[in-house]
Chain A
Amino acid sequence: MRYVEAFASPAVVGPALAELRRALAPGRRYRLMEFCGGHTHALYRSGLIDLLPAEIAMVHGPGCPVCVLPAGPITAAIDLLERDASVVVATYADLMRVPAGRDSFAAARDRGLDVRPVHGPSEAYALAVAAPERRVVFVAIGFETTTPPTALVVQRAAREGRRNFFVYGQHLQSGAAIDHLLAAVAGGRLQLDGLVGPGHVALVVGAGFFAPFAAKGRLPIVVSGFAPFDLVRALTLLVRQVNAGRAEVEVAYDRAVTWDGNRAAQAAIDDVFEPRPRSVWRGLGELAGGSLRLRPAYRAWDAEHAFELRPVAASDHAHCLCPSILLGERAPLDCTLFGRACTPARPLGPCMVSAEGACAAVFHAGRHLLQRAGAARTESPCAPSR
């Protein structure tokens, strides 16, 4: 646990915060977005959000694949379970309680349909191996971090000639979301000075992947790990770039991220998946090139073909602010539904469903409650004495 704990300890984070404070240009304010929902969660869970200088406003980004997955595929999978008892749907635990109309995988399981949460595609594949008379459909979600594992398991199914394992491909591409953000910035709907880039997506795609976006958007991008130290370091590098008017890609996760990324993982994605002609994200709408499907060569393992899955579009609640929240235009606490009609137990919108959704992260940290309780910021070994 050394490499987990070391980068989260006050002894390491304290000096990093001091360095961040020293980097601030006098009188300057910074609007920085953390793209990845995992980063949002990390900021709140560690309490780091309370310790950042007031000059820095963190804007929460759309990098939460559970949040932006349209409800249609969930409905289609549940519908499949209702009409075909031979099917087992395996999916990530994060997806179990996502609302799809009035339904969800968890509700489907409660009424006896065979939905199984799994830790990953290998576990779904093992289900298929263990039960040859059943047909296992793995609902594959996630950005580029998660796509290579799915690809590898599809390749394995093909190699082993397994006929009772299928993938319902719902993987997303980060680039499409970043393009969407840059368009919002260019269109004046979103004001951003810099972007904290997704560190684990970068393990696969490489830090260099973000260079064209930094150049095109004239926006500094620092790829960050998920430990508090990494985040503070990323913010420091961004602040320095903003001060100097630079717009480059840097890395605050050198211990794992490389410029080129993981070529084998990229090759696996490319072998198994291709972009869909149409891609609609929940909350964000149409995103060109945003979603992936299995290539024709792997049609035999493609659940959409095997079962004629037909996702039905569902609209979100009228007062749901997720489309704006996902883009960072509005904040979770701006939403009238937040914490009242919409909670993690009864989520109305995508941002509240996954633990990494911006609304969920804010809710779980109890920011609204702390606000209502009038709680003051706590003295900390990491904050300067006032």
Chain B
Amino acid sequence: MRTIALSHGAGGSEHAELLRRVVLPALGIDDGAPLLDAAVLSELDGRPVLTTDGFVVQPLRFAGGSIGTLAFCGTVNDLAMLGARPLALTVGLVIEAGLDVALLRAVLCDLGALARQHGVRIVAGDTKVVERGKGDGVFVTTAGLGVLPPGRVAPHPSRIAVGDVVLVNGALGDHGAAIVHARAGRSDAAEVSSDAAPLHGLVEALYAAGVDVHCLRDPTRGGVAEALHGLAHDAGVTIALDEAALPVRPAVAATCELLGLDPLQLANEGKLLAFVPADDAAVALAALRSQPQGADAAIAGVVADGSPLPLVTLRTRLGGRRVVARPVGEQLPRIC
């Protein structure tokens, strides 16, 4: 089969063939066991943590990954931001008729390989096909199950305290910039790759170092601006960032300069913002930097009193001050 047809989602023999020959092998779950719609899991040692996520991205493949990469990382990271260890995933596919099978296989392989590499089981799934023109290649939805180890208090905005330090594990805007170039059909134009990566290892490193993790947030759509805006509001604090301290790769900075974008508003898929007590900042920074995904970790800012108005502010390179605006609408390059 070269392209997906409606019959592949109809529940009959073609559907079974799609699963047997393409989907299950790509996801790495073709062990011959009967295919069931649900899975019984072993008992958990700790509190279960559940998330669901949907993935729509164009193009389906880009420098640094694919929708499959995002489906794994996005789901696992949602769990990791609550201090949970990822255990299992379910994968729902809505495929547009006409999609190239090789492309579908490739993106599912990305998902399957990451799941295998990180010991996360794909335990159930579903596959549907919609008519050509009714989908964007493929939409992926997942559910992710994790476990919060006994004794660990889940990170939460309510635990953010005035005086806390905000750390970031590396350079901002890589994913957004990579997508911008990929959409223009010019992935070759810049040495910019999506930073998509699972962060649970990084989170475990923080806990292993004894850091009192107050809150974690992954700055995905809307970038750091959106993520911090939400947290400032939820926690009722002002988050003061230091522009000079925020890591941005030269190619991402140049992309932003050329297209009138703001790195603080670009999506990240392998970054976290960690809120820790000031006393833990040095240890937290060292713990992040000890991991490959945290090599460029930095202290991005501090938490201040949010009365009367919680804000996200930026001390500019020149020493001036501005509020980090919440992204409005789709971030489109400006000319002016």
Residues of A in contact with B (beta carbons under 8 Å apart):
1, 4, 8-10, 13, 37-38, 41, 44-51, 64-66, 92-94, 96-97, 106, 117, 119-120, 142, 146, 228, 344-345, 354-356, 363-367, 369-370, 372-375, 377-383
Give which listed residue, B257, B318, B323, contacts A1 with CB less than 8 A: B257
Task: Evaluate contact between B250 and A97: CB separation under 8 angstroms.
Answer: no
Residues of A contacting B321 in the complex (Cβ-Cβ under 8 angstroms): 47, 50, 370, 375, 377-378
| B88-117 to A contact mask, C-beta < 8 Å, 1/0 | 000000000000000000000000000000
The reply to whether A365 and B322 form a contact with Cβ atoms under 8 Å apart is: yes
CA distance A59 to B142 in the complex (A): 52
- Using C-beta atoms within 8 Å of the partner chain, give the interface range for chain B: 20 to 34
Chain B residues whose C-beta falls within 8 Å of the C-beta of A120 in the assembled complex: 335
Q: Is the CB of A380 within 8 A of B323?
A: no
Q: Which 8 A-B pairs have the closest CB atoms?
A: A47-B320, A366-B323, A380-B319, A47-B316, A93-B332, A50-B320, A364-B325, A365-B322
Closest residue to B319 on the A side, CB-wise?
Answer: A380
A51-B320 contact in complex given A4-B257, A94-B335, C-beta closer than 8 Å: yes
Task: Kindly provide the distance from the CB of B254 to the nearest chain A CB, expressed in whole angstroms.
Answer: 6
Output the residue of A9, A377, A378 with the most chain B CB within 10 A: A378
Q: Are B318 and A10 in contact (CB under 8 A)?
A: yes
Shortest distance between the CB of B306 and any CB in chain A (Å) = 9
Nearest CB on B from A295, distance (A): 24
B23-31, B143-151, B292-300, B307-315 - interface stretch: B307-315
**A residues near B336, Cβ cutoff 8 Å:** 37-38, 41, 64-66, 92, 94, 142, 354-356
A47 → chain B closest CB, angstroms: 2
Contacts of A44 in B (CB 8 A): 322
Cβ contacts A to B, 13 pairs, < 8 Å? A46-B316, A46-B317, A47-B320, A51-B318, A65-B336, A93-B333, A345-B329, A364-B322, A364-B323, A366-B325, A370-B321, A373-B311, A378-B315
Question: What is the distance, in angstroms, from A350's C-beta to the closest C-beta of chain B?
Answer: 13
| Most A C-beta atoms less than 10 A away, residue of B238, B254, B315, B334 | B334
Q: Is B209 an interface residue (CB 8 A)?
A: no
Residues in A neighbouring B329, C-beta threshold 8 A: 96-97, 106, 345
Q: Bound state CA distance, A49 and B321, in angstroms?
A: 9
Task: Known pairs A119-B259, A366-B324; list 19 more (Cβ under 8 Å).
Answer: A9-B317, A37-B336, A45-B322, A46-B320, A47-B315, A50-B321, A51-B320, A93-B335, A96-B329, A106-B329, A120-B335, A354-B336, A364-B322, A367-B323, A370-B311, A370-B321, A373-B308, A373-B309, A380-B318
> Which one of B238, B308, B320, B333 has the greatest number of beta carbons of chain A within 10 Å?
B320
Residues of B within 8 A of A117 (CB): 332-333
Q: How far is the CA of A372 from the CA of B319 in the complex (A)?
A: 20
Whether the Cβ atoms of A369 and B319 lie closer than 8 Å is: no
Provide the bound-state CA to CA distance between A67 and B160, in Å: 40
Contacts of B313 in A (CB 8 A): 366, 370, 375
Within 8 A of A (CB), among B243-279: 250, 253-254, 257, 259
A8 near B309 with CB under 8 A, answer no
What separation, in Å, do the CA atoms of A378 and B317 have in the docked complex? 12
Closest to A346 in B: B328
The closest CB in chain A to the CB of B306 belongs to A373
How far is B206's CA from A64's CA once the two chains are assembled, in angstroms? 48
Is B335 a contact partner of A92 (Cβ separation < 8 A)? yes
Are A366 and B311 interface neighbours, CB within 8 A?
Answer: yes
CA distance A373 to B322 in the complex (A): 12
Task: Tell me the nearest residue of chain B to A38, going by C-beta.
Answer: B336
B317 to chain A: closest residue by CB: A10
Enumerate chain A residues within 8 angstroms of B257, measured Cβ to Cβ.
1, 4
In Å, the complex CA distance between A228 and B316 comes to 12
| A4-B257, A364-B325 given; A379·B335 CB < 8 A | no
Closest B residue by C-beta to A365: B322
CB-based contact B309/A372 at 8 Å: yes
Q: Please give, as numbers and ranges, the residues of chain B lying within 8 Å of A345 by CB-CB distance.
A: 328-329
Chain A residues near B323: list those with CB within 8 A: 364-367, 369-370
Given known pairs A1-B257, A373-B309, the reply for A48 and B320 (CB within 8 Å) is yes
Question: Is B253 touching A1 in the complex (CB atoms < 8 A)?
Answer: yes
Measured in the bound complex, the distance between the Cα atoms of B19 and A159 in whole Å is: 54
Residues in A neighbouring B319, C-beta threshold 8 A: 10, 47, 50-51, 378-383
- CB distance B308 to A372 under 8 Å? yes
Instruction: Say how far B333's CB is from chain A's closest CB, in angstroms.
Output: 5
The CA-CA distance from A10 to B244 in the complex, in Å, is 11
Chain B residues near A96: list those with CB within 8 A. Answer: 329, 332
- Least CB distance from B222 to A in Å reads 13
A13 and B322 within 8 A (CB):
no
Complex Cα gap A197–B333 (Å): 24
0/1 string, B153-175, CB within 8 A of A gives 1: 00000000000000000000000
Q: Which residue of B lies closest to A146 (CB)?
A: B335
CB distance from A66 to the nearest CB of B (A): 6
Question: Are B318 and A13 closer than 8 Å at their CB atoms?
Answer: yes
Q: Which residues of B contact A37 (CB under 8 A)?
A: 336
Bound together, the chains give a CA A10 to CA B308 distance in angstroms of: 31
Given contacts A356-B336, A375-B313, whether A46 and B308 have CB atoms under 8 Å apart is no
Q: Which residues of A contact B335 (CB under 8 A)?
A: 92-94, 119-120, 142, 146
- Given A1-B250, A142-B335, A370-B323, verify A47-B318 contact (CB < 8 Å): yes
